[in-house]
Structure 1
């Protein structure tokens, strides 16, 4: 139900038609290579994808890939870095929009994180499975990004506990559980499913508040259901 089904053709289609991380920031030739690498890494894994596989998928020569990247490792790192940078930026923006209330802030951050990971399931899968393939320096950089994202949630939960809005006995563990829960939506979400990303995000926002034992939940109307 998880990793294998997560790499079906529908998921691959989502990866190249919806929510590419920062796609406007690169020239078309570079973006074609990135998109091809995402498809290859998603379907075959990093170790199972050669430079030739990627360039054939992109319809370019190996020389074209090496014009932009020194190695396949550099290409993987760009995919991961771009996705994580956007994860952080979107979470920060959601927290700013939510205002000072800890419950509203956590609800908004959880929603944002679900929506981002569901928008590009292939890149999310790569980011969260191929950390094992990063070289030591790159792994250290990626861990720093993950820590920065996690701190945004930690600070929100700790603020809520300090103010008595949350009563979680283990705030840090609850915060980690929220991030993992929201991230892994990408492992099972499908466009053909009964729920839209907005519906899932709304539910996960409430589940995040349950994890931290919030005394109240923001009064946001649920999104319209697909079948409505």
Structure 2
């Protein structure tokens, strides 16, 4: 398959943005992660950070480096014949335990009714998928997960909640995600995980990384009572 064209534009004085498109296409997002993996593997001396998004990649470099030289090196990397060979599955597979419904998933029943499923059918479909962390955004550690069954797509709430508990697993449009900390939010909440998605004292602080694969595992609330949930 031909690699998508890459445009390069300034993002900041010390960052270039590699833009591969403007759609929420899993294949395009996979290419973004493949390019990021290639740049990391080449480890140019000026590289400071890489920030993948759905169809673009932020490349942050040492401010003392010549921006035009960095751009030229990036263009050479994009032209290299073996970029496509990097486009293989990378990242870890992470299982996320989830208590669905009840106080942990206040939108499960209404979402199931709207979709024409029973609550158990909705849970079964949600846990059957394998998802990819397309990007981290909105809040530190919030994973936007691609791979949602199209039959589970749901519009966001007309009026967002002022408080969504940390660990809430939700659907927003054609994606699913996990709130890493308490915050406002308008996604449909199906359940909650006791896992901590963002801890600034952890290395790395985010549990999930762009390109990781995620599977949700339904568990009973009593199974995690000893650990408890974040209030």
- TM interval, shorter chain, is under 0.3
TM-score when normalising by structure 1: 0.27
Higher RCO, 1 vs 2 (CA within 8 Å, ≥6 residues apart): 1
Whichever structure has more helix as a proportion of its residues is 1
Give the TM-score of the pair, scaled to structure 2.
0.27
Higher strand share: 2
